[in-house]
């Protein structure tokens, strides 16, 4: 007998990214016998590990081995190609499970909110990243890189770094990765010569990890350019750094200073960092294509716990034929789940989903859907386990109720959606992708369309 109930615990996890799998791991290793069902709207698991991590970061993707090992028990089931809110409602899940964990990440992009942001050859990072990673939602997006010489990447974080590397890489260096085949074909024709990385703050405020930033300096046949004047710290920045003592900031500044002092010869491409510039307007031609970006210079302002910027009124024009914005992600509301419109996350207190200040009672949230876009993959393990501890503590308050048989939900979903993907199906697909990749000399060759996956698994 378990606290609050007289049978094994049943938990549904919505979303199959890192935070969701780490929650499953903690639940399945718990001293409380627990059955876990994971629901994923895509036919494949692993979220951003599969569709967000850059193709040149193959070592990061090895973390999926931990996930697979964690769920190798008969108390875990994966329901891929099942969309909560479409194939099954949140209310129907609540009727079949004792607790629900939402691990849906942040599926929306933050926008600049400037004129002409939706012009041709302007795209959020999620679209571009999803395109080159073969995400089913973005596989058909068109990028005409053979007509582009200068790209502006707006943002100074790790996603900005991924986008910049993918645009600046030598084509040959991408051949041994799991980049989507359609993206590889387009990148082979790329005429890009300059990638301008635009930041509204200064070099001491960038959000790159030093390791991620350092990879810029390892790109083949690429020069890095920085105006040395941008690296001269003002009194506001120096005072802030003296208070915060952030070692990552110092390491990043050392990297920037080293690149600024470097004398690179002729290279195929240039990556240029421009700091203290805020994008104000996308300039377009008569065909609604981007032809440039109007930016306004900024300066740092001390806000106590953080540095912010203010506009100076001084503007300049950057000629460019493409823009990718990488300024963060935000959550999207789910019907039946309280949502914090200000934070753009599922409304929660430390992982318990709340309506106003009241705990809903059976719903929890982990990962970026809980915190917003912060924290690297490995940090989610501890954070998800902490939420699982809250779930265990709340068991005493669960109502005593009978639930439908375990297999009832399989029949329900089969009546509504014949294309369910099990974890065994995924393993078969994984083997097919890696086998195709070996023939190409890559880690894997992805199936990028939902229909393609269903067909190859005999579920079409």
**CB neighbours of residue 64 within 10 Å:** 16
Residues 347 and 413 in one domain: yes
Mean pLDDT of 112-117: 94
Q: How many domains does the chain have?
A: 2
Find the CATH number of the domain harbouring 96.
3.40.50.720
Give the confidence band of 109 by pLDDT, cuts at 50, 70, 90: confident
**CB neighbours of residue 130 within 10 Å:** 22
> Do the beta carbons of residue 327 and residue 198 sit within 8 Å?
no
* Residue that finishes a domain, picked among 300, 328, 356: 328
Give the confidence band of 459 by pLDDT, cuts at 50, 70, 90: confident
Give the confidence band of 434 by pLDDT, cuts at 50, 70, 90: very high
Structure tokens at 419: 């294309």
Q: Give me the pLDDT at residue 325, please.
A: 97
Residues 300 and 275 in one domain: yes
CA distance 156 to 208: 7
Residues 339 and 322 in one domain: no
For 39, the domain range is 9-107+331-456
Does position 105 have pLDDT exceeding 60, yes or no?
Answer: yes
CA distance 28 to 364: 16
* Residue that finishes a domain, picked among 287, 309, 328: 328
Mean pLDDT of 403-421: 91
Q: Give me the pLDDT at residue 156, please.
A: 95
Q: Give me the pLDDT at residue 302, please.
A: 85
Residues 149 and 295 in one domain: yes
73-100, pLDDT tens digit by residue?
999 999 999 999 999 999 999 999 999 9
pTM: 0.92
Inside any domain, residue 211:
yes
Give the confidence band of 435 by pLDDT, cuts at 50, 70, 90: very high
Does position 440 have pLDDT exceeding 90, yes or no?
Answer: no
Question: How much of the chain exceeds pLDDT 90, in percent?
Answer: 78
150 CB-near residues (< 8 Å, 6+ apart)? 192, 193, 194, 195, 196, 318, 319, 320, 321, 322
280-319, pLDDT tens digit by residue?
999 999 999 999 999 999 999 888 777 889 999 999 999 9
Find the CATH number of the domain harbouring 195.
3.50.50.60
190 CB-near residues (< 8 Å, 6+ apart)? 145, 146, 148, 167, 171
Residues 242 and 285 in one domain: yes
Residues 183 and 234 in one domain: yes
Residues 78 and 194 in one domain: no
Give the confidence band of 4 by pLDDT, cuts at 50, 70, 90: low
Mean pLDDT of 122-135: 95
* DSSP assignment letter at 145: G
Q: Give me the pLDDT at residue 1, please.
A: 39
Nearest in space to 102 (alpha carbons), one of 114, 86, 84: 84
Q: What angle do CA 36, 333, 40 make, to 5 degrees?
A: 35
Give the chain's end-to-end CA distance (angstroms, integer).
Answer: 43
Mean pLDDT of 271-281: 97
Residues 277 and 155 in one domain: yes
Give the confidence band of 330 by pLDDT, cuts at 50, 70, 90: confident
Mean pLDDT of 362-381: 86
Q: Give me the pLDDT at residue 249, please.
A: 92
């Amino acid at each position: 007998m378990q606290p609050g109930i007289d049978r094994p615990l049943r938990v549904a996890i919505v979303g199959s990214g890192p935070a969701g799998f780490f929650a499953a791991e903690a639940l399945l290793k718990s001293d409380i016998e627990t059955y876990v069902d994971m629901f994923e709207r895509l036919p494949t698991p692993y979220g951003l590990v599969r569709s967000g991590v850059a193709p040149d970061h193959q070592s990061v993707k090895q973390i999926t081995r931990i996930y697979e090992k964690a769920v190798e028990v008969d108390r875990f089931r994966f329901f891929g190609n099942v969309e909560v809110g479409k194939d099954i409602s949140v209310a129907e899940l609540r009727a079949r499970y004792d607790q629900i964990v939402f691990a849906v990440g942040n599926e929306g992009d933050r926008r600049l909110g400037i004129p002409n942001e939706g012009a041709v050859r302007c795209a959020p990072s999620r679209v571009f990243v999803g395109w080159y990673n073969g995400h089913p939602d973005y596989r058909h997006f068109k990028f005409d890189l053979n007509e582009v010489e200068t790209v502006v990447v707006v943002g100074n974080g790790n996603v900005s770094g991924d986008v910049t590397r993918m645009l600046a890489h030598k084509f040959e260096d991408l051949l041994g990765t799991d980049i989507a085949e359609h993206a590889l074909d387009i990148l082979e024709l790329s005429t890009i010569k300059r990638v301008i990385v635009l930041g509204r703050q200064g070099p001491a405020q960038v959000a790159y990890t030093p390791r991620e930033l350092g990879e810029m300096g390892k790109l083949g046949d690429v020069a890095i350019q920085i105006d040395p004047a941008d690296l001269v710290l003002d009194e506001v920045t120096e005072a802030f750094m003296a208070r915060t003592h952030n070692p990552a900031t110092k390491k990043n500044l050392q990297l920037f200073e080293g690149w600024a002092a470097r004398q690179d010869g002729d290279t195929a491409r240039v990556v240029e960092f421009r700091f203290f510039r805020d994008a104000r307007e996308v300039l377009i031609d008569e065909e609604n294509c981007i032809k440039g970006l109007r930016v306004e210079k900024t300066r740092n302002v001390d806000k106590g716990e953080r540095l912010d910027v203010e506009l100076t009124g001084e503007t300049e024009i950057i000629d460019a034929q493409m823009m990718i914005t990488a300024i963060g992600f935000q959550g999207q509301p789910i019907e039946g789940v309280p949502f914090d419109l200000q934070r753009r996350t599922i409304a929660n207190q430390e992982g318990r989903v709340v309506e106003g200040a009241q705990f809903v009672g059976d719903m929890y949230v982990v990962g970026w859907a809980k915190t917003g876009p912060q924290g690297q993959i490995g940090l989610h393990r501890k954070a998800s386990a902490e939420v699982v501890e809250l779930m265990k503590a709340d068991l005493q308050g669960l109502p005593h109720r009978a639930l439908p048989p375990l297999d009832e939900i399989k029949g329900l979903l089969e009546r509504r959606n014949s294309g369910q993907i099990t974890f065994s199906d995924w393993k078969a697909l994984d083997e097919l992708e890696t086998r195709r990749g070996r023939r190409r000399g890559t880690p894997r060759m992805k199936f990028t369309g939902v229909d393609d996956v269903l067909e190859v698994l005999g579920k079409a």
